[in-house]
Structure 1
Amino acid sequence: MSRRGRPGLGEILLELAKGRAAAASERERRATTVEILDRLPHGGRVDEVDENGRQRTYAVVPVSKRTHGKGGRR
């Protein structure tokens, strides 16, 4: 911190770099998930648990059971 209680330039740049690294990591995670889902057979499933303990499940639904609402993959 600077003398006036505000972050200095070095601290701002460090936080900016952390944010950019986190964004790049999330883009890579999403791209990898899409790649895996594209290779799974119908009925396949991927379970993810991230470093914060958040769980995600992705399932490849057979064509006859898909609903085409807003969002999601078609």
Structure 2
Amino acid sequence: AELAEKGLTANGPAEPRSLMRRVSTVLTGLLPEPRRVARFVADYAADPDGAYKGLVDELLSSPHFGERW
């Protein structure tokens, strides 16, 4: 509602590569390895929700999760 009042629109969903980069950076503080990005993109094409949930679970169980908190 506030966006519309100001004549703005929300951005659409992020592309899989950008989504992975953002989630990885937020949860671990690290950029993902290129091989992992390629696997996520392939998984995302087949099952977007499953790929995203799997990625988040993987990053939350990473030893790098929470290091910077």
TM (norm. structure 2) is 0.31
Higher-RCO chain (CA-CA 8 Å, sequence separation at least 6): 2
User: Which protein has the bigger helix share?
Assistant: 2
| Structure with the greater alpha carbon radius of gyration | 1
TM (norm. structure 1) is 0.29
